[in-house]
Amino acid sequence: MSDGATDAPAAGAATRPQRPEPAPRRPEPVEGRAADTRHQIAAARRVVVKVGSSSLTSPDGRLDLDRVARLVDALAGVRQQGREVVLVSSGAIAAGLAPLGLRRRPRDLATQQAAAAVGQGLLVEQYMQRFARHRITVGQVLLTVEDVTVQSKYRNAYRTAAKLLELGVLPIVNENDTVATKEIRFGDNDRLAALVAHLVHAEALVLLSDVPALYTAHPETPGAERVRDVVDVGALTGIDISRRGSAVGTGGMVTKLEAARIATSAGIPALLGAADDAAAALAGQDVGTAFAATGRRRPTRLLWLAHVSDAQGSLVLDAGAVQAVTQRKASLLPAGITDVHGSFTAGEPVDLVGPDGAVVARGLVSYDAADLPQMIGQRTGDLVEERGAEYARVVVHRDALVVL
């Protein structure tokens, strides 16, 4: 049976350790590990702080300048300790609602992008004015998915952020909503913040919102208890995470937990807390919910593929190709594909599915969906001979693939 893959090693390619799923369990405080996590956050020399729209706006959806000022004061205090801060700030769309006469966050992408175009400048202007009172210069950094998944753009984004920090500038990061497409975007700033933490080699991630912590039930439910510490995000059970985001934001508890999973799986401790507790959270005090780091660094594009991307289709693999992709970390070739589902274009994420229907991996496909059916099961050499040299490329390269 053809394995439909190539074994040629790629320099620097990451591998995902194969280990059994942990048994589901309710999170319990682990005092030593918890203290270590909060100490790591307090000692972090470079920290990414994410603040949500609901923490920056008043009930009517307008920017609350007092809230902005309190956040700035807290972050300025951290800077005065000699620590570096990168701020991932939501609020651009929310800031643009009032000038456009909108009462609620629009649902369609075009209006969201228009609101972001109006609001981004207003938001950054407020930050500039308030940080200037602390003699801190800020710089705006707008990112798209390609900036953290395409190697050349990733390197440029890192160099820019590193130079800003070297110059003493506090970067303010947001997704470039005005040009992001519906199919390929971060979608929320929680997960963007986790990827930025990885991008800038941060030592901690702090997620600030209108919810002071993770709770065993909705915070307003009688008997709901704060979860102080989480050792393994993937093992969370018995926790109500149904709370949705506010009317001016996109994030909810689900996206915050996913952000914590992304960060901790890359070796970065994280903390979820209230914006009003920003200073205490960054000082390692007993506020919010702390998430212990569980993994180590891996390429950011693989983190995005595994945790953020939405598959635009799927490729069904034979058993040999599944083994080659998951165990030998090989690239996928046409010979190992048995079926194609969905409508996608080259460069978009697709799921790789085994004969039993289970998703085994996700990767960036090198061909349009329309091109693949006539390539199914064929050897690459035969395709090159029949169709030309452009068919020499693999279907999914091992460096753009993550095993799930």
Report the binding-site residues for substrate: 90, 177, 189
Direct distance between the N- and C-terminal alpha carbons of the chain, in angstroms, rounded to an integer: 24
* 147 and 157 Cβ atoms separated by less than 8 Å: yes
CA distance 225 to 235: 18
Please provide the DSSP assignment of 167-208 as one string. Answer: TT-EEEEEE-TTT--SSSS--SHHHHHHHHHHHTT-SEEEEE
Q: What are phi and psi of 390, to 5 degrees?
A: -65, -15
Neighbour count for residue 304 (Cβ, 10 Å): 25
DSSP-based three-state secondary structure for 289: strand
Closest CA to 68 of 76, 97, 212: 76
Annotated binding residues for ATP: 50, 209-210, 250-256
Q: What are phi and psi of 89, to 5 degrees?
A: -115, 120
Beta pairing, strands 349-353 & 313-317: parallel
Could you tell me which residues are beta bridge partners of residue 364? 349
Q: What is the DSSP letter of 236?
A: B
CA distance 279 to 162: 24
Beta pairing, strands 214-215 & 226-227: antiparallel
Annotated binding residues: 50, 90, 177, 189, 209-210, 250-256
Angle, helices 189-199 vs 151-166, to 10°: value is 80
CA distance 230 to 27: 6
From residue 50, how far is each of 129, 259, 305 by CA, in Å? 19, 10, 21
Could you tell me which residues are beta bridge partners of residue 363? 350, 401
Please provide the DSSP assignment of 16-55 as one string. Answer: ----PPPPPB-----HHHHHHHHHHHHH-SEEEEEE-GGG
